[in-house]
């Protein structure tokens, strides 16, 4: 686990506070969607199939800030859509950083260099660009349906790092991927581009995604990652995941879903139950927590959850399991 020390200490203190207050449910990170519009149409994405009037909407900065203050989460991942298409995205990021929230700005990076003069981002230990990379050139371009997407993303990463920004990546893997695909792209990101951290996840079967044929099942996910992580390779990569979540991907341990740990807030409100499924919305975070039947979701309870192993549901479970075990806490510190 390659989380920076400042972030590790703050998250650890936050978790200890929740335990001391005996809070059963609390957010680790918020998936914030200030818009739905995107400049790409990725084959495995089910987030942007919205009516035209929905795609034109943009969340006011104050609305986003109020949502973060209400829930109290120490971290926020700004997604979409493509966040760089929001006209006040830099103001939102800067205000969250001023509040000492750890901000991850998710982007396909197509607009980073093209629109840079429009933005006023500043390097900070509380801020990182998270660039979407689904494989090396051929694989990534096929995934995002855009020739040249990989090359532009790579140049944007180099460009940002040269200007002092922290850069992380997020990669989604499908049944069309092989263990060697995963090894090759993580080696490239880790060793050649030297990004600060990498996140990964098996694809979730969005009902509205254009490609419905390549979402992995649980057994396929276990096989894919156990082979990719073999021979101690995962210790070499700067993966921004708890060791127990990586164990989960390999099938070494099994967990239930902790959807409330990474709630989703969008233009429609707090999304029930998670970032991947939309069974309605609430106005406040408290209402989300108190009125959602959390026990009705998860593998064996809801068919839509049957093959889900996404980090937004299972990384919180892994983190809480780690905090509850001295042995696992030590392993997490060591990155084993």
Q: What is the CATH number of the domain that holds 67?
A: 3.20.20.70
Secondary structure letter of residue 111 according to DSSP:
T
Report helix, strand or coil for 173.
strand
Which residues 6+ apart lie within 8 Å of 138 measured at CB? none
Structure tokens at 202: 């098996």
Q: Are 30 and 262 in contact (CB under 8 A)?
A: yes
Structure tokens at 299: 């593998």
Residue of 129, 105, 89 whose CA lies nearest to 31: 105
Q: Identify the bridge partners of residue 206 per DSSP, sorted by sequence position.
A: none
Sheet strands (E) in the chain: 29-33, 75-78, 102-107, 127-132, 166-173, 197-202, 264-266, 269-273, 278-282
Domain that holds residue 223: 5-334
How many distinct structural domains can be found in the chain?
1
Give, for all 336 residues of the chain, the pLDDT tens digit: 457 888 888 988 999 999 999 999 999 999 999 999 999 888 777 666 688 888 999 999 999 999 999 999 999 999 989 999 999 999 999 999 999 999 999 999 999 999 999 999 999 999 999 999 999 999 999 989 899 999 999 999 999 999 999 999 999 998 889 999 999 999 999 999 999 999 999 987 655 655 556 678 899 999 999 999 999 999 999 999 999 999 999 999 999 999 999 999 999 999 999 988 999 999 999 999 999 999 999 988 999 998 999 888 999 999 998 888 877 777 777 665
Structure tokens at 120: 């006023």
Residue 45: C-alpha distances to residues 42, 78, 134, 201, 206 (Å) = 5, 16, 12, 13, 7
189-211 burial, b for 16+ CB within 10 Å, e for fewer?
bbeebebbbbbbbbbbbbeebeb
């Amino acid at each position: 686990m390659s989380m920076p020390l400042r972030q590790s200490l703050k998250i650890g203190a936050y978790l200890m506070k929740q335990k001391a207050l005996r809070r059963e449910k609390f957010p680790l990170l918020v998936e914030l969607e200030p818009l739905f519009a995107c400049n790409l149409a990725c084959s495995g994405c089910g987030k942007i199939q919205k009516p035209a009037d929905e795609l034109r909407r943009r969340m006011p900065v104050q609305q986003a800030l109020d949502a973060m203050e209400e829930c109290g989460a120490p971290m926020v991942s700004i997604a979409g859509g493509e966040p760089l298409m929001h006209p006040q995205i830099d103001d939102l990021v800067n205000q969250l950083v001023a509040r000492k929230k750890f901000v991850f700005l998710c982007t396909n990076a197509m607009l980073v260099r093209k629109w840079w003069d429009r933005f006023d981002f500043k390097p900070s230990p509380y801020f990182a660009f998270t660039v979407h990379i689904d494989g090396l050139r051929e694989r990534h371009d096929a995934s995002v349906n855009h020739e040249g997407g990989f090359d532009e993303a790579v140049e944007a990463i180099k460009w940002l790092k040269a200007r002092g920004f922290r850069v992380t990546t997020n990669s989604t893997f499908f049944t069309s991927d092989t263990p060697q695909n995963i090894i090759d792209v993580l080696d490239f990101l880790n060793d050649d581009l030297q990004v600060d951290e990498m996140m990964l996840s098996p694809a979730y079967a969005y009902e509205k995604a254009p490609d419905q044929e390549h979402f992995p099942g649980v057994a396929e996910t276990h096989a894919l990652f156990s082979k990719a992580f073999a021979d101690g390779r995962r210790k070499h990569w700067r993966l921004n995941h708890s060791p127990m979540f990586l164990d989960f991907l390999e099938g070494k341990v099994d967990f239930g879903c902790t959807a409330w740990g990474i709630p989703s807030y969008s233009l429609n409100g707090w999304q029930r139950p998670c970032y991947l499924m939309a069974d309605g919305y609430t106005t406040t975070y408290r209402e989300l927590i108190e009125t959602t039947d959390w026990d009705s979701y998860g593998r064996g309870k809801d068919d839509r959850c049957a093959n889900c192993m996404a980090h937004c549901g299972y990384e919180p479970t892994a983190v809480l399991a780690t905090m509850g075990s001295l042995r696992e806490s030590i392993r997490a510190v060591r990155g084993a």
